[in-house]
Amino acid sequence: MTQDATSRFSDRVENYVKYRPGYPAQVLDYLQQRCHLTSESLIADIGSGTGIFTKLLLERGYEVYAVEPNDAMRREAERQLKHQPNFHSINCVAEATTLPAQSVDLVVCAQAFHWFNTPQTKAEFKRILKPDSSVALMWNNRRVDADDFAIAYDLLLKKQSNDYECVNHQNLSKTDFENFYRDSKYQLVKFPNEQVFNLEQLMGRAFSSSYLPAQDTDAGKKLSVLLTNLFDWYQIDGRVTFRYDTEVYLGRV
């Protein structure tokens, strides 16, 4: 993971915690069934961020090692989850987790793998996983053509960001996944997910993104005006909706 990738969310933590989407319960059900998880299962959440997915795993009774190199995001996860006996926070990068060899029943990467898709990461996952255990890569993929608001919002991001299209996880191709998974074999499943926002919440969701200017900068203030105009045009009863496909890629490495 590059230094830029490690640090770029440091000033977005508050908005990230409040306004980033969670994950449908069906994702947890799917992983439990497909990976034969039990209360004894040990899961490594790599690139765990503020602990959004870690928390869901803990609520299912799993023991979770949350690996996150960003200090601000990791501290937020620790603040929220430190009283959970099955929660273990690790200040490391994906390429060198410090976890023991063949100790993990499942590796999950929620909204993170595109930051560390490297041969070193694959080798590290192979090292820490128990034989024939799996890696689940997942993203909340915002449906940019879901409706007129979604189309207009995506266009605004492209105009106001210098690197939106560069850091977008959708830049990962089928070849990337085939190269990552053993024998190029994996399963992709999708689950519907959505968030409904008032104006304040839409602002928070937008400024949780690392590819947009910080909210208190001149560029951020300009963007706030544009977001307000966008909201006023498309809101229905004071709300707009983000629609996602929660995508889960599952296979062995």
Q: What is the pLDDT of residues 52-106, one digit of tens each?
A: 999 999 999 999 999 999 999 999 999 999 999 999 999 999 999 999 999 999 9
The pLDDT of residue 135: 98
118/58 Cα distance (integer angstroms): 28
Q: pLDDT (tens digit, 9 = 90+) per residue, 191-212?
A: 999 999 999 999 999 998 877 8
pLDDT at 170: 60
Q: Which residues of 116-129 are buried (b: 16+ CB within 10 A; e: fewer)?
A: bbeeebbebbbbbb
Does residue 2 carry a pLDDT above 50? no
Strand ranges in the chain using DSSP code E only, listed in sequence order: 42-46, 63-67, 87-90, 104-110, 129-142, 187-197, 240-252
The rounded radius of gyration (Å) of the Cα atoms in the chain is: 18
3-class DSSP assignment, residue 86: coil
Q: What per-residue confidence (pLDDT) applies to 29?
A: 98
Mean residue pLDDT of the chain comes to 91
Instruction: Tell me how far apart the alpha carbons of residues 88 and 247 are, in angstroms, rounded to a whole number.
Output: 26
Q: Which fold has domain 3-143+166-196+241-252?
A: Rossmann fold (3.40.50)
Return the DSSP state at 236: B
Give the predicted TM-score (pTM) of the model. Answer: 0.89
d(CA 181, CA 19): 31
Q: Which residue ranges make up each domain of the chain?
A: 3-143+166-196+241-252
